[in-house]
Amino acid sequence: MKRQLILEDGHVFTGRAFGSKKEQSGEIVFNTGMTGYQEIMSDPSYSGQIITFTYPLIGNYGTNRSDFETIAPSLHGVVVKSLSPYPNHWKHSESFNDLLVRFDVPGIEGVDTRKLTKLIRDKGTVRAVICNEETSVNRVIEQLQSEDAAKNQVAKVSTTHPFSVPGSHGPKIVLIDYGAKQNIMRELLKRGCEVHVVPYNTSAKDILKENPDGVMLSNGPGDPRDIPECVDVVNNLVGKTKIFGICLGHQLLCLALGGRAVKMKFGHRGSNHPVVNLRTQTVSLTAQNHGYTIDAESLLHTPLFVTHQAVNDGSVEGVALEDGSAFSVQYHPEAAPGPSDANALFDQFLQQIRKPVKELS
């Protein structure tokens, strides 16, 4: 069955349908990763978005039960050049197509993803609709232009109830779930931490009642400016506990201390983004997924200093307080998918937790 991908600026791509049969709109973005499509599509940070995979062949190793980053994916669609009909991997339990059907996510294949990606790079991210061939293009464009952009995606993907996962005599970490990837919890548990996961709208008072050794600010979808109540919570946590922020968590820490978030033209999404550590001048390849960044100039009059910078465009990739009690990165040290170059940041967090405040550095 033929299917259309219609962009709000009037561009139309025709391809073949797979996944769910429903029509769905969303912000269309692209990911440059060559592997890890299951982890990418199940990352809560893609809530409400349509993902274009730039790698031309998707689905060749199928999907499995262990590589999910959330229980129920919340993306709005998938665009690929070629979908493999015959997955072949010893771990695979179902095809990529069957996975999208099960989670009611529409897909379109046979699209010139190279052309589509270049359009997004030139014009910036736009809204789009995956729909059936007979759907009126004019109707869809009118619909897209009249719709407001989705707000507060975090509320859609955060846990609604707190829960704990015991560790092995390690520090107690409160993980604020703004749309946390499962691999953040896996990395903490791997290090023996007791992890207490709380909803995104949990108050600072209730978090501190848990008497945590540290607080992890997770990744998540959307614009950090949509959740000012979360900014206030982070502001009330700074100085009272050790803090490590990832992606959206990084942006919230910066906003809490006076920084300013801005929307990027097309964002960073992929598993091959070089980042330089400004203190050591070493470069790591990182996994990234964000459409907003922190304005570097806005940090000049805050207690934060920039620790990491993107090699490609110079954007802020990491910050810290001078005493080391709070730090954050824009990229994903937990990877999944992606390189594990930055995985040691979890060890750095635990090292800071073990230091008395007067010895922090």
Structural domain boundaries of the chain?
2-146, 154-359
Region 331-341: mean pLDDT is 96
Res 147: pLDDT: 79
Q: Could you give the residue numbers annotated as active site? A: 247, 332, 334
Residue 196 pLDDT: 98
User: In CATH, what class is 2-146?
Assistant: alpha beta
Contacts 24+ apart (CB under 8 A), 18-22: 18/83, 18/97, 18/100, 18/107, 18/108, 18/109, 19/78, 19/97, 19/100, 19/101, 19/105, 19/106, 19/107, 20/100, 20/101, 20/103, 20/104, 20/105, 20/106, 20/107, 21/106, 22/104, 22/106
% of the chain beyond a pLDDT of 70: 99
- For residue 266, pLDDT over 70 is answered with yes
Is the CATH number of domain 154-359 1.10.150.20?
no
**For the whole prediction, is pTM greater than 0.85?**
yes
In the predicted structure, residue 251 carries a pLDDT above the cut 50? yes
